[in-house]
Structure 1
Amino acid sequence: MYVRHLTVADFRSWPSADLALEPGTSVLVGSNGQGKTNLVEAIGYLSTLGSHRVSGDAALIRFGAERAIVRAAVVSEGRELRLEVELTAGRANKARLNGSPIPRPRELLGLLRTVLFAPEDLSVVRGDPAERRRFLDDLLVQRTPRLAGVRADYERVLKQRAALLKSAGAARRSGRTGDLSTLDVWDSHLATHGSQLIAARLNLLDALAPEAQSSYASVARASEPFTLSYLHSISTLDGSERDAGVIEAALQGELVRVRPQELDRGVNLIGPHRDDVELRLGPLPVRGYASHGEGWSAALALRLGSYELLRADGAEPVLILDDVFAELDASRREHLALVAGKAEQVLITAAVASDVPAELQGARYDVHGGEVHRVI
């Protein structure tokens, strides 16, 4: 799989950009602030419908513009697909596939698979649980696109149920009992969608962990073993349960148990939105204990593990390395270059060309002054 062509309009800093690409290595070189990361971010957006730098879409639309457009021609298994997303401030995004409108942008998911490694990935290992949940769910949807619907349904239930908890809690504090039968219905919805999401995450983690552990051992040979484990917000479940039906029953029971606290606080206290993925080096968690180098190794291992997992599924993803070689020491650079050199397509951004290992000096593009040019 590779991106043959990228076009953006009013995306980030670019009024317009047109970039022809090819299989193998492509290196985008430009000083900070020239927009090279914005170009690979656009490709990543078509893959995940999200940015690796910001949580919302508003910042992706160029200042002063009403909308942004990202288009790409993607070659996969001998056929070419044309993907397009239009982002409009304050309105639902629109998408096209091969020039024809599709009902929902998420129908593009799975058509372009990418693994993007960037300095922001340190937040996955050092940041809040939300960062690790997002990492896991983005990978989950790339492997199994239909789960994007489950994820969206669960988020919708959370919003509806939170609003109901606030209103019911306010009525309770004012001395009115209120009718909680509607809350029972939303409990059922949360348990149904939430259990599917948890079961899918657990199965994904089972597949990802060996790949990430192997990658970490290759990157940091003298370090403690790297392990990943899922931390439930459901107190009655241990880490071995994978059956969605059993998880649903446990989640339903936990919602009954914590309902008084939820009504008092007006928030959803139980469910996959409260879970975490614990990363450990030997007996200690990475977060709070790992050195800077160990943190980089853990972040790199997660991305390389994701890459190997997607490759094993049969459709080799596009590997995107956004300004990372300058951050890595010699051994990590060497291992990353070894993996990247085998990829069908790898897109690299760098402030200076010398940051990129010699074995990855493929096609070069200079990014400067709002323009991008291939160096002949």
Structure 2
Amino acid sequence: MHLRHLSVADFRSYHGAEVPLSPGITTLLGRNGQGKTNLVEAAGYVASLASHRVASDAPLVRHGAESAIVRAAVVREGRESIVELEIVPGRSNRARLNKSPVTRPRDVLGTLRTVLFAPEDLALVKGDPGERRRFLDDLLVARQPRWAGVRSDYDKTLKQRNALLRSGQHLWRSGGRRVPEHRLVPGETLEDARAAAEATLGVWDDQLARVGAALTYARLRLLRDLGPHLAQAYATISDADTAVTATYRSSLEGPFAEAVAAGEVPDQDEVYAATLAVLRDRRREEQERGVTLVGPHRDEVVLGLGELPAKGYASHGESWSIALAMRLGSFHLLRQDVGTDPVLVLDDVFAELDAGRRERLAQLVSDCEQVLITAAVAEDVPAWLTGRGRILDVADGTVTPREHEHSAGE
């Protein structure tokens, strides 16, 4: 799989840009602030419908414009597909596949697969648990796009359940005291109100447990499959004997959580039953606090370096190696699953690595079908790597192919 062409209009700093691409290694060179990362961000958006830099779409639209357009020509096994996305802040985005509108933007997921590594990925090791949950869920969608719908369903269910818990707090905190009449339906007793709230909460418990079990089960299988690729990538990049591991820590606690932490993957029905049981056990606490305390949104992925947790113990260089290994492990897992390479994007990565890690990374990516690299100066990237591919100069919103002075063998 590779990108043949990338086009943007009113995206970030660009009024418009046309970027011709080809298989192999392409390096986008330019000083900081010239728009290199904006281009690879656009490619990543086509693949995931999200930015690796910001949580919302509004910053992606050029100041003063009403919307942005990103268009990508993707070649896979000799067949070309055109994906076009219109990003409209405050409204629903629109998407086309091969010039035909699709019902939902997420229907284009899977047309392009990318694995993108950027300086922000250091948060995968040093950041809060949400960073690692998002990493897993994004990889799930890249592996099988249908998981985008499951994620969306879970988020909606969680939001509804939390709203119910908050709206009913006055019922549970009142104890045996009288609830003000204006908080009850006319003619309704406190016992009636509590019974109705309990019944409604039971419905949402079942929905949360079902969708949450599907997501948790998928995450556990993914982590099991990713583990060997992660360990191998870290060993190669770091050139060290210390092993890196990734362990799932479930919010369900008890024997279930212990089994999961030991690497077991219970079936989906077991996860569902365990989730319902813990929801029942913690119901009163959730009612009093007005928030859901159990489920995949509360789970954690614990990265280990040898016998110690990576967070707080790994050095800066080790943290970089772990984060990079997570992305390269993802790349090899997707390559194994799909049978074709995703597009690998290295956004300003080489500048952050020492000479040894730069060289080992370059060796690792040299056989990928397509690699997009951004760098402020050519010296950041091993010369033999840039010498094998194309260089695009990026300056003031203009992308210019450079006449290559090296032969492919140099």
TM-score, normalised via structure 1 length: 0.98
Show the counterpart of 1:282. Answer: 306
Q: C-alpha displacement at 1:112, in angstroms?
A: 0.6
Deviations 1:282-312 (A, max 9, x none): 1111111110001001001111101111111
- The 5-angstrom pairing of residues 250-289 of structure 1 reads 250-289=274-313
In structure 2, distance between residues paired with 1:234 and 1:140: 21
Show the counterpart of 1:340. Answer: 365
Q: C-alpha displacement at 1:359, in angstroms?
A: 2.2
Show the counterpart of 2:234. Answer: 216
Gaps of 5+ in 2: 180-189, 404-410
Q: C-alpha displacement at 1:170, in angstroms?
A: 2.8
In structure 2, distance between residues paired with 1:300 and 1:223: 17
Report whether the alignment pairs 1:365 with 2:383.
no
- The 5-angstrom pairing of residues 31-70 of structure 1 reads 31-70=31-70
In structure 1, distance between residues paired with 2:92 and 2:362: 39
- The partner residue of 1:235 within 245, 250, 253 is 253
Moved more, 202-211 or 104-113: 104-113
In structure 1, distance between residues paired with 2:384 and 2:327: 20
Show the counterpart of 1:207. Answer: 225
Matched-pair contact (CA < 8 Å) for 1:341–1:359:
no
Q: C-alpha displacement at 1:221, in angstroms?
A: 2.5
Deviations 1:139-165 (A, max 9, x none): 111111111111110001011111111
Q: How many residues align?
A: 376
SS at match of 2:68: strand
Q: C-alpha displacement at 1:103, in angstroms?
A: 0.7
Deviations 1:46-99 (A, max 9, x none): 111111111121111112211111110000011000011111111111111000
Report whether the alignment pairs 1:308 with 2:335.
no
SS at match of 2:282: helix
In structure 1, distance between residues paired with 2:23 and 2:273: 48
Show the counterpart of 2:183. Answer: none
TM-score, normalised via structure 2 length: 0.90
Show the counterpart of 1:83. Answer: 83
SS at match of 2:33: coil
Matched-pair contact (CA < 8 Å) for 2:97–2:108:
yes
Show the counterpart of 2:320. Answer: 296
In structure 2, distance between residues paired with 1:138 and 1:266: 28
In structure 1, distance between residues paired with 2:283 and 2:156: 19
Q: Aligned partner of 2:153: which letter?
A: D
Q: Aligned partner of 2:92: which letter?
A: A
Moved more, 162-171 or 199-208: 162-171
Deviations 1:163-221 (A, max 9, x none): 11100113333534522211111111100100000000000001101000011111223
Show the counterpart of 2:244. Answer: 226
SS at match of 1:312: helix
Show the counterpart of 2:185. Answer: none
SS at match of 1:289: coil
Q: C-alpha displacement at 1:241, in angstroms?
A: 3.4
Gaps of 5+ in 1: none
Show the counterpart of 2:351. Answer: 326
In structure 2, distance between residues paired with 1:291 and 1:368: 35
Moved more, 325-334 or 165-174: 165-174
Q: Aligned partner of 1:267: which letter?
A: V
In structure 1, distance between residues paired with 2:63 and 2:334: 35
Q: Percent same amino acid at aligned positions? A: 57
Report whether the alignment pairs 1:110 with 2:110.
yes
Q: C-alpha displacement at 1:223, in angstroms?
A: 4.3
Q: Aligned partner of 1:367: which letter?
A: V
Q: C-alpha displacement at 1:315, in angstroms?
A: 2.1
SS at match of 2:345: strand
Matched-pair contact (CA < 8 Å) for 2:70–2:84:
yes
SS at match of 1:334: helix
Deviations 1:101-134 (A, max 9, x none): 1011111111111111111110011100000000
Matched-pair contact (CA < 8 Å) for 2:221–2:265:
no
Report whether the alignment pairs 1:246 with 2:270.
yes
